[in-house]
Structure 1
Amino acid sequence: MNLKHSLSALNKLRKSHSKQPGLFKQILHSVPVICNANRFAQSYQEQLPNGAPLKQPGENPLWDYFQNHTQGHGIWKWEHYFDVYHRHLAKFVGKKTDVLEIGIYSGGSLEMWRSYFGEKCHIYGVDIEEACKEYENNYVSVFIGDQENRAFWNDFKDKVDGIDVLIDDGGHTAAQQQVTLEEMLRHIRPGGVYICEDIHGTHNRFSAYASGLVDQLNSMRDSQFQSAVHSIHFYPYMLVIEKHAVQPKKLNAPKHGTIWQPFFKNTINE
């Protein structure tokens, strides 16, 4: 890192400290723990029993579609993504579903999502290239704009009531991914799923941002974020956020039963 980048990083740290000194202190204390986790993961080794190969996922129509798609509009995906897709998106198959894919490229994935979700789905594609307008048809609507532009998303939300599935396969910069998540998470309907692809790199800034969301999901203070977000999942190069279908009012931990810590006689309820 050169001097210019170092000074820029220090300036950002100073601003963060001035805005939320308490939170900054907590995060600073977590840095050694994060370093320990990195060292553990880098040195981790595991051998499958008897050298058995990893098994391919079970029945997966998305994987079958991708494997059989050898001509036509191009689809470019990491192979391990298809198990993640099917795990989180199968519940929408055959239902009325609004899907947003950011990053149209050659248009092949628009056709794949239509084949997977069925005739009741409508697909919204977003791309910065004007030429992608040619992919529009009766079940695909294309919006041209910059996903890092909040005004673009405000315009999109004015025209589209809500989204059930969001797949960010766009520009892949941390800034683009962060703006998209911040602007669109509220626009994803209850029970909806957000997926961000290609967050690879050991110190990916968007992955670090998403880790901060995990901290808030684990907060002991009930928040609207916890009421909206059911779970956050990390996979290699991929982030998935699922929203609650029915928002809980608060997180509870009630006690059920009559006997507690039986190894202490004086705590047994008689």
Structure 2
Amino acid sequence: MSLWSEFLTHQGRTIHKWKHYFPAYERHFCRFVDRPVTFLEIGCGLGGSLQMWKRYLGPHAQIVGIDIRSVCAEYQEDQIAVRIGDQSDPAFLSSIIDEFGHPDIVLDDGSHVMAHVLASFGYLYQRCASDGVYLVEDLHTAYWDEYGGGLGREGTFIELCKALIDELNADWSRGALMPTEFTRSTQSMHFYDSMAVFERGRTLGKSAPMYPALPQD
């Protein structure tokens, strides 16, 4: 059953998601299905998405929801843990890593305030599994003043992403930009309407072999 079908047939707590997110979810999360995976969702909403991830990812998945609202503690059930705290607080995020280990997937559906999104990414990205996925959604707020956004405004997550594209390609900058930990630990970046996805992975030395080799003169 597809994730979209899981959503349409869901009978548990309410899920509130944009329709066009589902193909991207499935594209980036499908390789984790039925694996022992730790899925961290920032922002618990009405609790339904936690249940959807549990159903989709299967019996070996540990779903962890974090939210600043104490009422979200009621969403706990088998395979679903909820911890109450601020997504921009490094001490709180550290306690999540200490308890559950390095997440394989992080999905930021939290406050959508740019300062909070940046703080979570800054702390959690390099603490994800080495082959993990970090997805930030509802990035339309990066263009809205009330969330600290604005077109071309310094300090939004979209502007950070523009700089990270350069870091991803730092090896080709001819010394203008030194490779960073992001360069060395990121395989790819993907952008969708209101969504950014980062695929982590070890990078090896870059080469462009030619097979079969051309004959030598």
Q: Considering the TM-score relative to the shorter chain, is it more than 0.5?
A: yes
How is 1:98-247 mapped onto 2 (pairs within 5 angstroms)? 98-200=38-140, 201=143, 203=151, 205-220=156-171, 221-244=178-201, 247=202
C-alpha displacement at 1:106, in angstroms?
Answer: 0.7
CA distance in 2, matches of 1:179, 1:99: 19
In structure 2, what is the equivalent of residue 65 of structure 1? Answer: 6
Shift of 1:248: 2.6
- Higher RCO (CA < 8 A, seq sep 6+): 2
Does residue 258 (structure 1) correspond to residue 214 (structure 2)? The answer is yes
Length-normalised TM-score, structure 1: 0.69
Letter of the 2:188 partner, please give it: S
Tell me, in whole angstroms, the C-alpha distance in 2 between the residues paired with 1:212 and 1:134: 39
Q: How far apart are 1:149 and its partner, in Å? A: 1.5
Q: Residue type of the partner of 2:159?
A: A
State the Cα deviation string for residues 125-163 of structure 1 (Å, max 9, x = none). 000000111111231111111111222212222222111
Pick the structure with greater CA Rg. 1
- For residue 215 of structure 1, report the CA deviation from its aligned partner: 1.0
CA deviations over 1:145-200 (Å, ceiling 9, x no partner): 11112222122222221111111000001111111111111221121111101001
* Gap runs ≥5 in structure 1: 1-59, 260-268
Counterpart position of 2:18: 78
Provide TM-score, normalisation by structure 2. 0.85
Corresponding letter in the other structure for 1:67: L
Residue 34 of structure 2: aligned partner: 94
Counterparts of 2:86 and 2:80 in 1: how far apart (Å)?
19
Quote the offset at 1:84 in angstroms: 0.1
Number of residue pairs matched?
Answer: 199
Which residue identity is paired with 2:35?
Answer: K
Counterpart residue identity of residue 251, structure 1: K
Q: Report if aligned partners of 2:187, 2:203 keep a CA contact under 8 Å in 1.
A: no
**In 2: Cα distance, 1:92 partner to 1:206 partner:** 26
Unaligned runs of 5+ in 2: 144-149, 172-177
| 1:82-131 superposed Cα distances (whole Å, 9 cap, x missing partner) | 00000011001111111000110110001100110001101000000001
Cα root mean square deviation, aligned: 1.8
Q: Distance in 1 between matches of 2:39 and 2:167?
A: 27
Which stretch of the first structure deviates more once superposed, 118-127 or 149-158?
Answer: 149-158
Residues 127 and 170 in structure 1, CA contact (< 8 A), matched pair in contact too: yes
Indicate the percent of aligned positions where both proteins have the same amino acid: 36
Farther-moved stretch of structure 1 (206-215 vs 166-175): 206-215
